[in-house]
Amino acid sequence: MSGLVRACHPGPTVAVTLLTALLAVAAGTGWTTGLLVTAAVCAGQLTIGWSNDLLDTERDRASGRADKPLASGAVARGSVRAALAAATAATVVLSGLTGWRSAAVHLVLVVGSGWAYNLGVKGTLWSWVPYAVAFGSLPAVVWLAAGPGWSLPPAWMTLVGALLGVGAHLLNVLPDLADDERTGVRGLPHRLGERRVRLLAPLLLLTGALLVVLAPGGEVPVWGWVAVVVSAALAGVAWVTRGSTPFVAAMLLAVVNVVGLVLRG
């Protein structure tokens, strides 16, 4: 069971599921709809995680990835395939229960983007696009489930989501740049190189944090200015330090984006 859990990419799955739950609170979906849309997104993320490890098994073995359960033999391919089939069915059913508009955006733009990335886009110059589309569309999935008709989130929220997604893509790939290069995967982060990625990821997340505070208009709350100062400090730390510190600082900056996105929503 632990191998199956690790094969679903639990970190990103939990993070996106939690973000969805927080957006549901911000959108005022109510308990029933909020739980449905959160469960639908969780199931969709499970399909993306398990399909990724299934598709990358041989490449992970070639890279000696002992942390990958399928590559190391800690879980059988048949078990992951069965879990993937169940998660796919759950994604379709749960999404349908949130309404056809929310379901369409979730299945096509969020889950579809994740699968497109897994199926080959990640090895191209356009590897950032699925992340931008998926994260940018996530608020719409929640808002369409919450409101009547085409009830959409503000445009700035979509833009912040897209920036958060691209930043997450750069940070997610950063530890695997060398292994990916050896097995022929050359997405945008690989073409930019580690130095540029370490500069660009915090810049994107800092831009998102500024938009969260300033774009909604009206009086900026005190916590908003505090968030700006903290975000600028974290970006600075990410740019001038070495080792694992820049990655940690950038991840904390992403957290500031998420919190601000929910509070300003």
Distance CA 211, CA 89 (A): 37
Provide the pLDDT for residue 158: 95
For all residues of the chain together, what is the average pLDDT? 90
* Integer Rg of the chain from CA: 18
Helices within 28-76 (DSSP H only) = 31-55, 57-62, 69-72
The boundaries of every CATH 1.10.357.140 domain in the chain are 1-153
In the CATH scheme, what is the code of domain 155-265? 1.20.120
> What does pTM read for this prediction?
0.92
The boundaries of every CATH 1.20.120 domain in the chain are 155-265
Pick from 82, 1, 94: nearest CA to 42 = 94
Provide the pLDDT for residue 71: 83
13-17, 63-67, 228-232: least confidently modelled range: 63-67
31: helix, coil or strand? helix
Which pLDDT band holds residue 73 (cuts at 50, 70, 90)?
confident
Task: Return the CATH fold of 1-153.
Answer: Tetracycline Repressor; domain 2 (1.10.357)
Provide the pLDDT for residue 265: 67
